[in-house]
Each structure stands twice: as structure tokens, then as C-alpha cells.
């Protein structure tokens, strides 16, 4: 399969970025919007063409999906160790291409309406293109270092876009927080890469992932503190993934990242960048699975499951609709992680892997839809808070119906997309780990509840008296909603198992009816509860909030994790390390130098009386000196 | 005229013409033309070097040898390898950018530009010298104009700063001289004549005891100018008082002489000494990396932040050199270039901001992006490059250093140090983002003038001159690596 044209997929957005970024003052806003959409349409078309070629024409040889690589050396370290740049085509990278293309294209179209009239319109589209370029580069990466490079680039695009409203202090601090927290996680990633490079001798995914390759077979050769060094490397790499994917305890940046414009939240903080961690684990799945009998994979499963539960609980009490969605994203990504964590490798055993990718795909569609729908609502009522909303279904019919579809999809109601992928995840968990299965089912119920709390709160509930009557958004914004809604309805019918599987052979997925019935039932209970609490205005929710008392407060304050981090950074690092360092430098180190200088001056002040300017003094010193030297010489001579 | 001696002749001619030109306008045009020629020569040298290297395998190319002082066997002996060519290129870029940034120098412009050019002459001299003695002389030529440049054109407590800087550097020079003489008097160990020729000494087996004794002298003598902890304190005060172009040149080029000297003299000529002492100095270097970064977080003056950041980033150069690994060495040279360009960019930008707002206190600056979009955008890009974002030179340098350090040091002590040093990338992003977030983003500070003048053409030219290579190295590092890597072979043979 000739894949050389795929290099254009990332390069086109890069060209758009350079064009818009360098001429941001010269290009008219309207035109820059068109350039952005046009550029991305080409990339998207190429992605679809690649997917068609790969999945249906010549990707499969003897029933196994092949890996196609096209790369060249970018930086040499040694003969065997080098950083390559290139593209790698395999089932998951092609799937990610499709996800990124669809969501990014929809967000581009949507932004033309949403950002209309904004000062930095062109700058916004430039950043979007930069992000899309980096994300394409990330999913197409051929080796660990390349993925790290684009990993950092998506991070900085995220920084720029969160801080897009850069005169707002809250946006600036959110952007900084997002960057620094993920940077800290990336430190782990980088150290993991260094360890891997040293012990495995390569960064190349193909070599690393080969189940019969030397890396996987000889993982036990070196160990450190009871674990194989390769396991350590994988855990550290997973730390990077957990940072990007907002897994507990590195999740604190994601809710704040909602300060960015809403289309950005849909693209970066819901559908694409935040699932990079899942993608990374999937990318290295054979290593996670085989090395040390899946020790690192177990860690992934438990972190995922815990994050999923933790975030779902917090989501129930949030009042900012974007933050509800942010915690929901964290929870759903936890779901994907746990699916990977409980996955096997061969054939149907690998259902977790498939389910995780499937859920990544469907989640991208309905979560982007939820965010864009929320953006549409925010656009109409100029507020992020539930208290300012209610009864909007009459004013915004398209937003209402598409949001409902997305909510049903995420709640796992058949036949919407989320039902199918969630079912597969629960099947995988049921087969491998009952504890995680129970967590998964419970989270499914919570998800349905908080999502319909949101839905009823926005579109039903108390009628608000709006200063300006809200109105439906323009076609540029509703069109993407409709497209994504369609995908959220039909996305689940894709026979995903045939395309994406851990061993590349493909298998036929089939519904496990009892498990599906349980999951759906739990979801419906959640929806029903939300119906009772929030459909009509009533005081039930307040009563229950009071009944839970302190627990409610902890939850709505996100279990004080922000405060803990603030304490560590401000009190310990800033005041406890940085301040003493600076003091030490100015007073001790520099003080010593000044002391040397000053004492020299003092000493010379004391002895400068010798330089009296009187001839006889000098003559005396001269003669005395000569005599002493002569005596010394004579003494030395005679001995 | 041979291609290298021109690097001495052209600055001298420039200075001569400057002496006879009157007023700011003539002085700056003359300096601009002079440094433009230098840059042209440096670029030409790079291409000539690639061509020559293809057919010439000797350590140094374009060599020339004239006896200068016969009794002590001192020669005017010049030649370059990939490392010096890279650093010469850096110098030429920074000098030209510095001239553009000083376009409106008001006080004593002629004398200012003369000092600037003399300084560059000294730097070129160091990079082309093969003779230890001439190298030392050029090193001093580069350091001395600093005193005048800060003492006369500086700001704040400029005399104190100039004195402190000069005294500490001179003190280091004295130590260095002891080391150099130590090498000289041992250069006949294999029965040959006493010599200052670096290439000849490298062939001599200097006795182990002498290597162990003199390595610290040479190392410290050079490393002080690279702000080795704890001898770095001249740097924040010196930078804070220095005028913009001087800070650019000093942090951008002069501080690179330290790492270069350590590599070319201390490690090349005293490899056994390096092996013996590296554990000790690598600790100092690692402390410098972390300590500089943490100190930078606390500062409130733009220049102090940058000065401490330099302590951290140059600590990385010394750290990389002391890992005794080829990949890390490659990283060290690239880091020298990268830091030179980036820190010059930062100082130029600080100068522009200070020239407009008359403050360097970050608490008094805010939201500048809105009123100064060009400067703001470049500032953000520079900041991101500084914290090691891929696509810029800093990333390439750091990755080489980290990978190299990890490859070489198989024992826990060095591993721990490496991880400690790697962790500085997080601290770096903290202080950079704090800075960018405060002065470029956020709300406008109320006492700000709203109609600050936009960036002028000469400022933009200076900035772009520095920015282009930063991106060039970051996007396509292979050509630079090719140039440097081959020249590292002889050093490797020495240490291993």
C-alpha cells in the first residue's frame, strides 16, 4: 500500500497555520475562516481516502491488518538509536485520523459562527490549525520520540487556546495550570522514554511492539526495586498519558481548561487531545500486555476505574455546564482506560482493547456534540451556569434535540452509539475483573443521572425570564450539531471488532444480552431519577443536597484537590524552596563574594599607609627588601 | 588572506573606520556594515568547512601557523573544527543583532560600538586559536571591554556591577593562567619541546598527577564565565546593569567561551583529570541547573529572571560536557548555540520593553500583548522555545543532552543526577509561563501608557536574525549535528 500521500494530512494544516499566523493582520477574518475550513476539508478527505484504502482495499494481508511505515531519520544519536519522523498507518492510527478529521472539521465550521466578530478571529483559526497539525502528527507517529514531540506541540496548542482570551486572568491561570500540570506528567513520559531508549535500544513502535521481538521477550533481564525496568518505563510513559488524559491525580487542569472558547473544549478537551493518553497505551498495548505479565496494564485499569468513578461523582454537583461536561469527559476516558486495562490479546480475549477504541470513537462524536450544544446554549444565554438556564427547548429546537441525542448516547441507551461501545467495555470487565465491572456499571448509572440533570436543567426545568430572548444559533453552528448527532445515532452500528483488534485479526462482535440489559437498566434508572429531580422545578434536589451535607460540599468542591495542589506548589515549592534559594543566593553565595571584595578593600585601606609618597620611605623599604631577599638567597644557597 | 585571519582583520578594520567616523549615524552604519561582513564570512566559512571536511580528515582545518614569540614557543596558530565554526556563526549573528538593537544608542555611540566590535574580535580569536597562549590573550581581550561597556553605558549600580563582574572574571583568569602554565610545563612529558599547541599537547601523555592537579584550575578558570555554581553571582548583577546589546553579547556569546574552553582545553588536554574530577564538578553543574531555575521563579526583575535562567541553562552545558558522552557533548554544543540565540532574544526583548515602559519590574507590567503585538508574540515564542518546545533549538539540545547522559552513566549516582537535571524542564516552564502570563497576558496595568511605539524596522531585523536560526535548528537539526558530531571524535578518544 502506497502511503506516501498521507504525509500531506498533517502538512496541510501546518501550511494553513503558517499562512494565517504570519498574516494575521492582513487576512480578513471571513477569509481566514474559509481558508481554515478548506484546508481541513482536504486533510479530512485524504483521511477518509486512507481509511477506505486501508480497511477495504489493501490493508489486509492473509486476514491480518498490516502496518505501513514511511519515515526518515530526523536526529541521530547512535547507529541504532535515532529519532525518526514519518507516518505509521495501522488500524488505530487510521481510526484516530477519522476521529480527528471529523471533529476538527465540524469544530472549524462551527467556529465560523461561534467566534464571529471576535478580535482574534484569524488568530483563533491559526491556533486551531496548529492544533490539528500536531494532533495528526501525534496519531501518525512512528516512534516514541515522535509521539513525544507532537505530544508537546498539542500541549502548547492547548495552552494557547485555553488562554485565547488572554486578557482574562482566569483564562491565563487556567492555561498556565494546564501546561504545567501536563508538563509535569510529561517529565515522567520523557524519563520513561530515556529508560526505554537505553534498555530497549530503540524508540520504534514496530520493534517495541513485536510480541516475538527481543524487547518483549527479554523484559526480565534488568530490574529495579523488584520490577522490570521496562515496566518502570511503561509506568512512567503512562504517567504522561495520565496527565494528558486527565486521570486521577493529574486531572486538576481539565475543569479549568474550560476557560477556553467552547469549540476548543469540544475539539481538544473532549474529543481528541485528552484521549491521547488512551491512544498512547493502545499504541504500546503489546508491551503493556506482555511485559511483566501485564503489571503496568493493571495499574492502567485501576487508575482508569478510579478516575471514572471519582469524576462521575463530582460531575453530579457541578453547576457550570462546561465543568459538568469536563468531569464527564474525565470519567469516560477513565472508562476507556479501564477497558484497555482489562483487555486480553488474542482474538475475542482482546475485546477490551477493541471496546476502548470503539468507545474513544463514539465518545468523540457525542461528547463533541455535547460541547458544541453547550456552546450553542452559552452563545444564546451568555452564561455558563445552570441557574441562568431553563426551558430553552422552546427557543432552540435543534440544539435541544441534538443535545438529547448526545445525552442518550452517553447514557448508554440503545440504539445510540454509546450503548454499543459501553456494552463491550462492560463485557470485557465482566470477563476479567468483577470489581472493575461493578465500578463500571455504577458509573454508567451516575453518568445517565448527571447527564440528564444537565439536559433537564438546560432545556426543561424552571422558565427563566431572559433579558434578550434566546434564539437558535445560525446554520454554521447547527449544521455540525446535526452531523455529529447523526453519527451519535449510527456510529454504534459500525462492526468495530472487524477493523480494530489487539492482534489485528479482527473478530465478530456480538451483544451479550444479560449484561446489556443490566447496563441499560441502570442507565434508565439514572435518567428516571434525573427526571424526578429536575424535569419540573421542585425542591427535591435541594433537600437531598442538604441531606448529604458535608459530602455534598466536598464533592462540589472537587474533594479539595485544587487546594492540595495549591498548597504543594505555593506553600512548599514557591515559599519553601524557591524563596530560600533566592535568599541564599543573594545573601550567602553573593554575600561571600562581597565579603571577599570588601575585606580586600579594608585590608588595602589598612596597608595603603605604606604608599606614603615620601621618597625616604620608599628607599627604606627598597633597601630592607633587598637585604631580606639577599639573606634568603644566601641561606638557600648555602644549604 | 586566509579565511580565518579575516575574522581578526575585519573587526580591526571596522574599529579603525569607527575611530574616524563622527556621530551616531556614521558609527552605527559602519558597525552594521562591519558586522554584516562578519556574518557573511561566517556563513561562507560554514560552507567552506563542509566542503573542506569532505576531503580533509584532520582535526582542525584551514590551519595556519606563524611563530609569534620564539623563546616560549608561542605561535599564532589557528584552525577550526565543526564546533568552532558553529560558535563563530553564533557570534556573528548575535553581534549583528546587537548592532541593530543599539541603533538608537545615545551616549558616546562611537565608543560604544568600538567596544562592542573589540569584544567580538576577542571572541572570534578564542574560537579560532589552536595555541593556548593566544587563546588566553584573546579571552582577555573579550573580557576587558565588558568593564567599560557596563561601567559607562550601564544603568543602576553600574560601577558596582562592572567591578564585581570584572574582578570575578579576572580572578578566574588568574586561576586559568596557572592551569595553562601547568599544562605548558608538562607538555614535554614525552620528550618533545615545551609547547602551547593544543593539537600537539593532545598527543602528549601528560602525567596523571599533573592532570589531576591542573584540571580544576583550568575547569574553574573557564567555567566561572559560564556561571558555574557557586561562582555565578557576578552574572545577575552584571546583566541587570548592562545595556541591552551588551547583555545580549555577554550572555549570548561571551558566556559560551566558558563551555568552549572547558571542552577544548580542560577536557581535551587533560582527559584523565576530567575522568578523575567529573563526579565533583558534575554535582556543581547539576546544582546550578536546578538552583538557577528555582531562583528564577522568585525574581521580579526581568533581567534577573533571565540571568538566573542562564545559570540554569549553562549549567546544563557544563553538565553535558561532564557526562563524557558523545551525544551529550553534541547536545552541549547545540545548547550553547541555542541558549546564545534565545538569551540574546530575551535580552533584546527586555530592552525593547524597558525602552518603552521604563520598568523591568514584572509587577508593573501586564497585558502587553494587546498594545505591542509583535513584541508580545515574539516574547511568547521565545519563552516557549526557551522551555524546550519541539520545533525550536532548545528541544534539540536538551534531548541530546538527556539521551546522552542516560546512555553513558550506568551507575545510580549519575542516573539520579540526570533525572534531577531533567526535572528542571518543569521548573523552567513554571518561571517562563509565570513571566509570559504576567507581562504579556492578563489585564493591562493601569499606569501603562496606551500608545507605546510599535516595534521599529531595526528592532524587527535584529529579532528575526536571531529567531530564524532558532527555528532552523529546531526543525532541521541534522545539518548542525553532522557538523558537530564528526569533530567530537578526537575528544572521545582522549576520554575513553
Give phi and psi for A319, each to the nearest 5. -110, -15
* Residue A630 domain boundaries: 563-638
Output the CA–CA distances (angstroms, integers) from residue B489 to A585, B483, B494, B495, in the order listed: 38, 12, 9, 10
Q: How much of chain B exceeds pLDDT 70, in percent?
A: 97
B442 CB neighbours in chain A (<8 A) are 166-167, 169, 172
Residue among A429, A422, A421 at smallest CA distance from A446? A422
d(CA B80, CA A614): 55
Q: Pull the grid cell for residue A388.
A: 441562568
CB B389 within 8 A of CB B395: yes
> What is the value of ipTM here, to two decimals?
0.90
A192, closest residue in chain B (CA to CA)? B419
State the smallest CA–CA distance between residue A514 and chain B in angstroms.
49
pLDDT band for position B409 (50/70/90)?
A: low
Ranges A169-183, A505-519, B97-111, B245-259: which has the least confidence: A505-519
CB B331 within 8 A of CB A75: no
B299, closest residue in chain A (CA to CA)? A582
Whether A434 and chain B come into contact, CB under 8 Å, resolves to no
Q: Pull the grid cell for residue A30.
A: 471571513
- In chain B, % helix, strand, coil (3-state, to 5) comes to 75, 5, 20
Cβ pair A197:B406 closer than 8 A? yes
| Interface test mutation site (partner B, options A11, A76, A77, max chain B beta carbons within 10 A) | A77
State the smallest CA–CA distance between residue B84 and chain A in angstroms.
21
d(CA A200, CA A218): 9
Per-residue pLDDT at A129:
92
CB B484 within 8 A of CB B83: yes
Torsion angle of C-alpha atoms B55, B60, B61, B65, degrees rounded to 10: -140
Provide the chain A residues 43-82 that lie in CB contact (below 8 A) with chain B: 73-78, 81
Domain annotation covers residue A497: no
Per-residue pLDDT at A546:
74
Mention every residue, 6+ apart, whose C-beta is less than 8 A from residue A29: A121, A122
Distance from the first to the final alpha carbon of chain B: 38
* Facing B422 at nearest CB: one of A163, A167, A187: A187
User: Block means of pLDDT (10 residues each) for chain A, length 639 residues?
Assistant: 86 92 82 89 92 85 84 85 89 91 91 83 89 93 92 92 87 88 91 88 86 78 79 91 89 87 88 91 90 86 92 87 90 91 82 89 91 88 82 84 90 86 88 88 90 86 75 84 89 83 77 83 85 74 73 74 76 76 78 77 73 72 84 79
Q: Give the mean model confidence (pLDDT) for residues B66-70.
A: 81
SS3 A52: helix
SS3 A324: helix
Whether A153 and chain B come into contact, CB under 8 Å, resolves to yes
CB A343 within 8 A of CB A351: yes
Per-residue pLDDT at A277:
92
| Interface test mutation site (partner A, options B224, B231, B233, max chain A beta carbons within 10 A) | B233
Ranges B211-225, B437-451, B471-485: which has the least confidence: B437-451
Q: How much of chain B exceeds pLDDT 90, in percent?
A: 19
Mention every residue, 6+ apart, whose C-beta is less than 8 A from residue A110: A263, A266, A372, A375, A476, A477, A479, A480, A481
Whether A224 and chain B come into contact, CB under 8 Å, resolves to no
Mention every residue, 6+ apart, whose C-beta is less than 8 A from residue A449: A316, A526, A527, A529, A530
Whether A175 and chain B come into contact, CB under 8 Å, resolves to yes
Q: Pull the grid cell for residue A161.
A: 487556546
Domain annotation covers residue A599: yes
B418, closest residue in chain A (CA to CA)? A191
Per-residue pLDDT at A38:
92
Per-residue pLDDT at B357:
83
Q: Pull the grid cell for residue B57.
A: 580528515
pLDDT over 80 at B172, yes or no:
yes
Whether B393 and chain A come into contact, CB under 8 Å, resolves to no
Domain annotation covers residue A589: yes
Torsion angle of C-alpha atoms A184, A189, A191, A196, degrees rounded to 10: 180
The string of DSSP letters for A66-125 reads --EEEEEEEEESSSS-EEEEEEEESHHHHHHHHHHHHHHHHHHHHHHHHTTT-TTHHHHH
pLDDT over 70 at B410, yes or no:
no
What residues pair up with B301 in beta bridges, in sequence order? B361
Domain annotation covers residue A173: no
Per-residue pLDDT at B376:
87
Number of structural domains, chain A?
1
Cβ pair B422:A74 closer than 8 A? no
B404 CB neighbours in chain A (<8 A) are 77
Q: Pull the grid cell for residue A258.
A: 474550560
Global confidence as pTM: 0.90
**Residue with C-alpha cell 486521570?**
A247
d(CA B465, CA B457): 12
Give phi and psi for A88, each to the nearest 5. -125, 125
Whether B492 and chain A come into contact, CB under 8 Å, resolves to no
Per-residue pLDDT at B76:
86
Domain annotation covers residue A477: no
The DSSP code for A572 is I
Cβ pair B233:A173 closer than 8 A? no
Residue among A438, A432, A138 at smallest CA distance from A289? A432
Q: Pull the grid cell for residue A565.
A: 495542589
d(CA A128, CA A112): 12
- How many Å is the maximal CA-CA distance in chain B? 74
Cβ pair A156:B384 closer than 8 A? yes
A590 CB neighbours in chain B (<8 A) are 233, 237
Residue among A328, A482, A454, A452 at smallest CA distance from A384? A454
Provide the chain B residues 344-383 that lie in CB contact (below 8 A) with chain A: 367, 369-370, 373
B441, closest residue in chain A (CA to CA)? A166
A148, closest residue in chain B (CA to CA)? B390
Domain annotation covers residue A287: no
Digit-coded pLDDT (tens) for A589-639: 777 777 777 777 777 777 776 666 677 777 777 788 888 888 888 887 776
Provide the chain A residues 251-310 that lie in CB contact (below 8 A) with chain B: none
| Interface test mutation site (partner B, options A194, A574, A576, max chain B beta carbons within 10 A) | A194
Whether B450 and chain A come into contact, CB under 8 Å, resolves to no
| Interface test mutation site (partner B, options A24, A127, A134, A578, max chain B beta carbons within 10 A) | A578
d(CA B12, CA A633): 47
Per-residue pLDDT at A222:
76
B230 upstream amide cis, omega within 30 of 0: yes
Amino acid at each position: 500500500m502506497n502511503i506516501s500521500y498521507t504525509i500531506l494530512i498533517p502538512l496541510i494544516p501546518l501550511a494553513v497555520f503558517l499562512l494565517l499566523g504570519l498574516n494575521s493582520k492582513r487576512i480578513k477574518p471571513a477569509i481566514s475562516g474559509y481558508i481554515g475550513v478548506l484546508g481541513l476539508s482536504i486533510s479530512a478527505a485524504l483521511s477518509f481516502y486512507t481509511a477506505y484504502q486501508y480497511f477495504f482495499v489493501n490493508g489486509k494481508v492473509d486476514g491480518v491488518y498490516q502496518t505501513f511505515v514511511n519515515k526518515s531519520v530526523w536526529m541521530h544519536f547512535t547507529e541504532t538509536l535515532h529519532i525518526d519522523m514519518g507516518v505509521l498507518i495501522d488500524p488505530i492510527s487510521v481510526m484516530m485520523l477519522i476521529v480527528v478529521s471529523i471533529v476538527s472539521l465540524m469544530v472549524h465550521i462551527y467556529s465560523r459562527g461561534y467566534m464571529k466578530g471576535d478580535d482574534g478571529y484569524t488568530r483563533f483559526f491559526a491556533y486551531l490549525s496548529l492544533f490539528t497539525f500536531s494532533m495528526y502528527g501525534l496519531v501518525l507517529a512512528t516512534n516514541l520520540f515522535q509521539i513525544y514531540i507532537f505530544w508537546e506541540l498539542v500541549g502548547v496548542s492547548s495552552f494557547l487556546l485555553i488562554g485565547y482570551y488572554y486578557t482574562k486572568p482566569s483564562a491565563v491561570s487556567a492555561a498556565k495550570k494546564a501546561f504545567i500540570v501536563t508538563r509535569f506528567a510529561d517529565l515522567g513520559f520523557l524519563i520513561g522514554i530515556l529508560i526505554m531508549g537505553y534498555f530497549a535500544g530503540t524508540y520504534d513502535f514496530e520493534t517495541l511492539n513485536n510480541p516475538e521481538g527481543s524487547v518483549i521477550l527479554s523484559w526480565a533481564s534488568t530490574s529495579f526495586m523488584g520490577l522490570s525496568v521496562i515496566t518502570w518505563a511503561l509506568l512512567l510513559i503512562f504517567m504522561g498519558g495520565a496527565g494528558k488524559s486527565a486521570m486521577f491525580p493529574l486531572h486538576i487542569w481539565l475543569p479549568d481548561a474550560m476557560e477556553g472558547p467552547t469549540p476548543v473544549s469540544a475539539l481538544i478537551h473532549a474529543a481528541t487531545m485528552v484521549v491521547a493518553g488512551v491512544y498512547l497505551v493502545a499504541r504500546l498495548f503489546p508491551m503493556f500486555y506482555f511485559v511483566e505479565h501485564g503489571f503496568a496494564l493493571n495499574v492502567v485499569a485501576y487508575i482508569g476505574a478510579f478516575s471514572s468513578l471519582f469524576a462521575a461523582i463530582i460531575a453530579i454537583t457541578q453547576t457550570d455546564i462546561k465543568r459538568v461536561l469536563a468531569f464527564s469527559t474525565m470519567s469516560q476516558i477513565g472508562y476507556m482506560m479501564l477497558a484497555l486495562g482489562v483487555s486480553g490479546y488474542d482474538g475475542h480475549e482482546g475485546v477490551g482493547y477493541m471496546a476502548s477504541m470503539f468507545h474513544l470513537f463514539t465518545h468523540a462524536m457525542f461528547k463533541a456534540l455535547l460541547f458544541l450544544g453547550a456552546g450553542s446554549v452559552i452563545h444564546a444565554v451568555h452564561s455558563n451556569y445552570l441557574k441562568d438556564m431553563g426551558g430553552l427547548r422552546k427557543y432552540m429546537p435543534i440544539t435541544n434535540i441534538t443535545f438529547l441525542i448526545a445525552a442518550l448516547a452517553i447514557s448508554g441507551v440503545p440504539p445510540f452509539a454509546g450503548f454499543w461501545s459501553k456494552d463491550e467495555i462492560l463485557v470485557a470487565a465482566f470477563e476479567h475483573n468483577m470489581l472493575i465491572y461493578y465500578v463500571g456499571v455504577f458509573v454508567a448509572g451516575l453518568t445517565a443521572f448527571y447527564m440528564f440533570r444537565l439536559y433537564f436543567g438546560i432545556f426543561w426545568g424552571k422558565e427563566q425570564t431572559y433579558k434578550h430572548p434566546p434564539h437558535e444559533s445560525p446554520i454554521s453552528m447547527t449544521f455540525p450539531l446535526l452531523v455529529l448527532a447523526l453519527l451519535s445515532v449510527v456510529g454504534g452500528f459500525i462492526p468495530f471488532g472487524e477493523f480494530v483488534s489487539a492482534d489485528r485479526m479482527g473478530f465478530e462482535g456480538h451483544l451479550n444480552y444479560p449484561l446489556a440489559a443490566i447496563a441499560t437498566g441502570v442507565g434508565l434508572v439514572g435518567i428516571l431519577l434525573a427526571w424526578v429531580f429536575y424535569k419540573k422545578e421542585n425542591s427535591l434536589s435541594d433537600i437531598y443536597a442538604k441531606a448529604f451535607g458535608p459530602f455534598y460540599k466536598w464533592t462540589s468542591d472537587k474533594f479539595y484537590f485544587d487546594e492540595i495542589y495549591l498548597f504543594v506548589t505555593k506553600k512548599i515549592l514557591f515559599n519553601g524552596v524557591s524563596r530560600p534559594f533566592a535568599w541564599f543566593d543573594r545573601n550567602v553565595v553573593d554575600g561571600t563574594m562581597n565579603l571577599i571584595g570588601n575585606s580586600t578593600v579594608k585590608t588595602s585601606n589598612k596597608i595603603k599607609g605604606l604608599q606614603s609618597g615620601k621618597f625616604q620611605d620608599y628607599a627604606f623599604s627598597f633597601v630592607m627588601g633587598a637585604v631580606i631577599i639577599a639573606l634568603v638567597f644566601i641561606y638557600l644557597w648555602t644549604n | 588572506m586566509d579565511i580565518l585571519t579575516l575574522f581578526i582583520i575585519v573587526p580591526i578594520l571596522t574599529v579603525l573606520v569607527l575611530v574616524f567616523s563622527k556621530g551616531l549615524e556614521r558609527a552605527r552604519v559602519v558597525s552594521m556594515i562591519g558586522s554584516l561582513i562578519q556574518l557573511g564570512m561566517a556563513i561562507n566559512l560554514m560552507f567552506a568547512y563542509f566542503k573542506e571536511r569532505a576531503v580533509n580528515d584532520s582535526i582542525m582545518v584551514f590551519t595556519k601557523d606563524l611563530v609569534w614569540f620564539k623563546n616560549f614557543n608561542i605561535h599564532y596558530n589557528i584552525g577550526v573544527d565543526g564546533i568552532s565554526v558553529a560558535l563563530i556563526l553564533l557570534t556573528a549573528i548575535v553581534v549583528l543583532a546587537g548592532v541593530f538593537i543599539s541603533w538608537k544608542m545615545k551616549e558616546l555611540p562611537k565608543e560604544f560600538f568600538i567596544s562592542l566590535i573589540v569584544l567580538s574580535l576577542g571572541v572570534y580569536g578564542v574560537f579560532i586559536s589552536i595555541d593556548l597562549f593566544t587563546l588566553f590573550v584573546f579571552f582577555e581581550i573579550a573580557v576587558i571591554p565588558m568593564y567599560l561597556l557596563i561601567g559607562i553605558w550601564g544603568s543602576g549600580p553600574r560601577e558596582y556591577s562592572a567591578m564585581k563582574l570584572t574582578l570575578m572574571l579576572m580572578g578566574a583568569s588568574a586561576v586559568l593562567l596557572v592551569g595553562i602554565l601547568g599544562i605548558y610545563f608538562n607538555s614535554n612529558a614525552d620528550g618533545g619541546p615545551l609547547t602551547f599547541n593544543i593539537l600537539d599537547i593532545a598527543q602528549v601523555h601528560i602525567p596523571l598527577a599533573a592532570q589531576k592537579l591542573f584540571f580544576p584550575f583550568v575547569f574553574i578558570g573557564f567555567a566561572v564565565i559560564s556561571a558555574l555554581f557557586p561562582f555565578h553571582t557576578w552574572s545577575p548583577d552584571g546583566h541587570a546593569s548592562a545595556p541591552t546589546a551588551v547583555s545580549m553579547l555577554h550572555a549570548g556569546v561571551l558566556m559560551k567561551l566558558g563551555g568552549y574552553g572547558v571542552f577544548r582545553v580542560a577536557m581535551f588536554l587533560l582527559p584523565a583529570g576530567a575522568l578523575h574530577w567529573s563526579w565533583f564538578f558534575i554535582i556543581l553543574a547539576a546544582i546550578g541547573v536546578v538552583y538557577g531555575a528555582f531562583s528564577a521563579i522568585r525574581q521580579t526583575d526581568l533581567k534577573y529572571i533571565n540571568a538566573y535562567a542562564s545559570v540554569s541553562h549553562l549549567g546544563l552545558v557544563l553538565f553535558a560536557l561532564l557526562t563524557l558522552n558523545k551525544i551529550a557533548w553534541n547536545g552541549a554544543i547545540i545548547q550553547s548555540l541555542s541558549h546564545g540565540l534565545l538569551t540574546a532574544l530575551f535580552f533584546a526583548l527586555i530592552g525593547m520593553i524597558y525602552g518603552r515602559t521604563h520598568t523591568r519590574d514584572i509587577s508593573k507590567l501586564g497585558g502587553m500583548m494587546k498594545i505591542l503585538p509583535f513584541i508580545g508574540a515574539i516574547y511568547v515564542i521565545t519563552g516557549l522555545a526557551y522551555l524546550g518546545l519541539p520545533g525550536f533549538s532548545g528541544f534539540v539540545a536538551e534531548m541530546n543532552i538527556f539521551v546522552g547522559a542516560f546512555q553513558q552513566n550506568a551507575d545510580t549516582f549519575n542516573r539520579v543526577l540526570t533525572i534531577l537535571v531533567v526535572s528542571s524542564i518543569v521548573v523552567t516552564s513554571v518561571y517562563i509561563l509565570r513571566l509570559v502570563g504576567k507581562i504579556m497576558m492578563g489585564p493591562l496595568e493601569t499606569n501603562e501608557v496606551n500608545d507605546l511605539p510599535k516595534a521599529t524596522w531595526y528592532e524587527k531585523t535584529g529579532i528575526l536574525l536571531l529567531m530564524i536560526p532558532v527555528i532552523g535548528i529546531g526543525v532541521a537539526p541534522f545539518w548542525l549535528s553532522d557538523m558537530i558530531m564528526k569533530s567530537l571524535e578526537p575528544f572521545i578518544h582522549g576520554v575513553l
